[in-house]
Amino acid sequence: MEAKIKQPPSFEDAIERLETIVESMESGEVPLAELLAKFEEGNTLLKVCESRLKEAELKIEQLKKQKDGSAAFPPFETERGA
């Protein structure tokens, strides 16, 4: 039996899930144990989003620093398969 490595969600999926978590937490109808689990999941998703945004920021900075001003784009690697 092969163990599958779970890939982090895409930025868009993580944001969507975060919004759902926040809405459910704001409703005030979530039991404490579930609230803590949702908080932990939200924290993990937040780290995923921050990481993806930082990667995008670094790519933009690389593009800005092209010496001759040309639009030479380095290959952009994503975690998603083609």
pTM above 0.95, yes or no: no
Residue with tokens 């459910």: 24
- Cα 76–Cα 18–Cα 24 angle in degrees, nearest 5: 165
**3-state secondary structure string, 41-69?**
HHHHHHHHHHHHHHHHHHHHHHHHCCCCC
| Predicted pLDDT of residue 70 | 62
- CATH code of the domain made up of 11-64: 1.10.287
Query: Could you read off the pLDDT tens digit of each residue along the chain, which spans 82 residues?
Result: 555 677 888 999 999 999 999 999 998 888 999 999 999 999 999 999 999 999 999 888 888 777 666 655 666 666 654 4
- Domain residue spans of the chain: 11-64
Q: Which of 14, 27, 30 is nearest to 79 (CA)?
A: 14
